[in-house]
Chains A and B, each alone.
Chain A
């Protein structure tokens, strides 16, 4: 009896070990055709998949030109969906990182043209337009993104930033409020909401939002600088100075330090 149990245990261990150690992927079915066109199509499909795989590997090691070339080659093979929109999307990422922002915008637009519901491509298109400084294009892309995904947090944030930078504080206000309704602990939304309030002339609301942001992230230097500027506008110089001092204490960013120092010194003049 003991011998039977031992053999059974050994068999289980052996079979289990074999399964766990299996390093090979499943066997690819052999194409059962001799038709030249069909064989060419199969080879092309295989190459598209491989090019996308190699491109993603290149992105992972920050080899942007190599990644760009792999995705461009995949696209030259006229891939079907979803590979076509996917290769365009990945090409957009490679081009953004390579510094070709115009090319990246075109690549994300091509991905969207192939697949209208491609939300990740729409999200990246807004970011690229913001990086390009094309606020009208960013706003149009963000509006389309929000229309397709009205509950998306990223869509609300992206459009809020595009609107704020383009001077549409009313839309920015609504988007950041929507974001905060979902997560009141997102300090950045409080900060940008404060900016929208300030642009609409409601300095009291701006101060309240900035204090909310700072309650969540006390070392939020940019919020302290904005708070100081709001307090300065309200005539509260002592508290404004304290806010600028806090910003100086909390950041190593040279631009922010210069701004905080200039504002603090200007109060004393």
Chain B
């Protein structure tokens, strides 16, 4: 084999390794990005408000109706930090 052929083969080999390495790195970054996408899951749905008796939703005395209406998150029976994620009851 001539020296030229050895050189060409060496250059092609280095190029292939370079392309392969870049491709591998790109694939790794993509896989990491995909994995990281699973980290952004919305919080859970609010738990159901409780039952109402036969008197009906009689104004502010009806606790579920009051809870549905309150302006304060702390009184609205919303999920707490660490509650199950969305889609899980």
Contacts and interface: CB of A to CB of B under 8 A. Distances in A.
Nearest to B47: A127
B32 interface: yes
Contact of A188 (B31, B81, B87): B81
A76 to B, nearest CB: 15
Interface stretch (A1-9, A20-28, A35-43, A189-197): A189-197
A161 interface: yes
Contact of B53 (A52, A151, A195): A52
Contact of A86 (B53, B67, B83): B53
Contacts of A199: 40
B48 A127 contact: yes
Contacts of A225: 39
A154 B67 contact: yes
A222 B85 contact: yes
A86 B40 contact: no
Contacts of A221: 82
Interface residue range, chain B: 35 or more
B35 A161 contact: no
Nearest to B42: A164
A153 B53 contact: no
Contacts of A31: none
B73 A130 contact: no
Contacts of A56: 51, 53
B49 A120 contact: yes
A191 B71 CA distance: 19
Given A216-B81, A263-B39, 4 more contacts: A93-B51, A161-B45, A187-B81, A269-B28
Interface of A: 48-49, 52-53, 55-56, 59, 81-83, 85-86, 89-90, 93, 96, 115, 118-120, 122-124, 126-128, 130-131, 133, 149, 151-155, 157-158, 161, 164-165, 179, 182-183, 186-189, 191-192, 195, 198-199, 213, 216-217, 219-223, 225-226, 228-229, 232-233, 251, 255, 259, 262-263, 266-267, 269
